[in-house]
Amino acid sequence: MTNDQEQRLANHSIDAEAVDQSDNGEPKDRHSAAVSPDKPRKGTRGRSVAILVIAVVVIGLLVISGIVPRLKSRKALAAETNELAAPTVLVIQPKRGAPSQEILLPGNIQAFVDAPIYARTNGYLKRWYFDIGSHVKQGQLLAEIESPEVDQQLSQAQADLGTATENLHLSQITANRFSDLIKQDAVSQQDTDNATSDLAAKNTAVKSALANVDRLKQLVSFEKVYDGVVTARNTDIGQLIDSGAAGGQARSLFQMAAINRLRVFISVPQIYSQAATPGLTADLTFAEFPGRRFPGKLVRTSRSIDPTARTLNVEVDVDNSKGELLPGAYTEVHLKLKEGIPTMTIPVSALLFRQEGLRVAIAKSNNTAELVPVTLGRDFGDSAEITTGLTGQEQIISNPPDSIIDGERLNVQTEKQRTAVAAAQGGQK
């Protein structure tokens, strides 16, 4: 092969390579076939940044996927802890009571008249005529006192009464005689007037002496001044009696009580004070008389509220002509009011006795507690009457803890919810 042929074959090979490179999207210029050393470095750096971003995103997702559930778990745990810390309480609505036409109050029975009997002179008890439980009529003698000094004075007074009586008799004769003589003009009018005046004076002297005798007799005896019963006898025959006139300590000999009519004193709460007026009827009941009622009538009130108990003192009189009722007994008075007063009834367990007064705990709509002041009416044993403080729309906590305060969070349950929970727990068992 000649040199010219070899040169043509070489050029042809170079053109073929250029065509192949052009088909591959690379520059046709054979001078551009030489690759620049900067291009591989730029591609490597881009791939590194992309890998780093992907790694950061993956790590972030992993971190978030681990922290978020943990935060949710903490939040749920805190909510559960707060729920468990809140006391579970049962709420009910207060029952609206019928307008009170009758209130039941405790009463103390007292005798209509109750008085001690004292001696009016010193001496020794000679005899007594009535013991405890004896019924005494007015004017009957209770006892006699033997007093030598008074006896001497009584004898002297009786002698003076005799003298005065004789003088009166003489004056009566003289006055009659002068009255006859004046008709015959045998005596002067002056003498006749003197005789008449002397008769009047002697008559007065007799009355005075008689009164003195009666006074001394009463000093050594006792007469009952009203009908009643002897409830106590504090002396006996031969006992020394000191009337206290000489500075000694006087002691009652008898205690007397008039029980044909009795007084019953009751304390009416302030809420009913305006309705408790004289003339109201009342019935008395006793444990010893089951099924019986003794009628009475409200006769007077103290017209003043006791600042300590906030009650009105009221007197009810009841007839006891048969003597069945006894002074000092306890009774329940059913006082019938003219007008009704709306009230609420709640369980006794819902009452809170605090230093600031009686309170009732209610559950508000946001499940927090509120202590409401109330006024207590009648006590029915397992329930109580509330006269003021409640409207009937409240959710009353029937079993409040003693430590409950205003604003405390509560776990509120109704009776139906509690029954459902108990039934579910029973089914699981």
CATH number, position 131: 1.10.287.470
Per-residue pLDDT at 112: 92
Would residue 349 count as lying in a domain? Answer: yes
Quick one: 371 and 327 in the same domain?
A: no
pLDDT of residue 29: 45
pLDDT at 425: 66
Mean pLDDT over 83-104 rounds to 76
pLDDT over 50 (residue 23): no
Is 183 in the same domain as 147? yes
Q: Residue 83: which pLDDT band, with cuts at 50, 70 and 90? A: low
pLDDT at res. 334: 93
In a domain, 298, yes or no: yes
Is the residue at 287 inside a domain? yes
pLDDT value, residue 17:
46
Same domain, 328 and 347: no
228-264, pLDDT tens digit by residue?
A: 889 999 989 988 888 766 566 778 888 989 999 999 9
| Average pLDDT for 335-342 | 73
pLDDT(333) > 90: yes
Residues 127, 234 share a domain: yes
The average confidence (pLDDT) of the chain is 80
Work out whether the CA dihedral 143, 149, 153, 155 comes out positive or negative: positive
Specify the CATH number for the domain of residue 329. Answer: 2.40.30.170
* The pLDDT of residue 343 is above 60: yes
Q: What is the pLDDT of residue 407?
A: 86
Same domain, 391 and 421: yes
Q: Is residue 49 part of a domain?
A: no
- Our count of domains for the chain comes to 3
Query: Are 306 and 346 contained in the same domain?
Result: no
User: Which pLDDT score, from 0 to 100, does residue 405 have?
Assistant: 87
**Listed residues 296, 312, 336: the one ending a domain:** 336
| CATH code (residue 366) | 2.40.420.20
Q: Which residue has the higher pLDDT, 258 or 6?
A: 258
Instruction: Supply the pLDDT for residue 191.
Output: 84
Question: Based on the domain organization, do 95 and 164 belong to the same domain?
Answer: no
79 found inside a domain = no
The stretch 23-45 carries a mean pLDDT of 49
Q: What Cα–Cα distance (Å) separates residue 160 from each residue in 1, 69, 155, 219, 421?
A: 208, 124, 9, 18, 103
Residues 142 and 220 in one domain: yes
Mean pLDDT score, 61-75? 71
Does 211 have pLDDT greater than 70?
yes
Quickly state the pLDDT bin for 193 (edges 50, 70, 90): confident
Look up the domain containing 171 and give its range. Answer: 117-241
- Do residues 313 and 200 both lie within one domain? no
The residue with greater pLDDT, 429 or 419, is 419
The verdict on residue 42 lying in a domain is no
Mean pLDDT, rounded, for 184-207 = 87
- Same structural domain for residues 326 and 349? no
pLDDT digits (tens, 9 = 90+) for 144-184: 888 887 778 888 989 999 999 999 898 898 888 888 888 88
59 located within any domain: no
Is a pLDDT exceeding 60 seen at residue 381? yes
Percent of all residues in the chain with a pLDDT value above 70, rounded to a whole number: 80
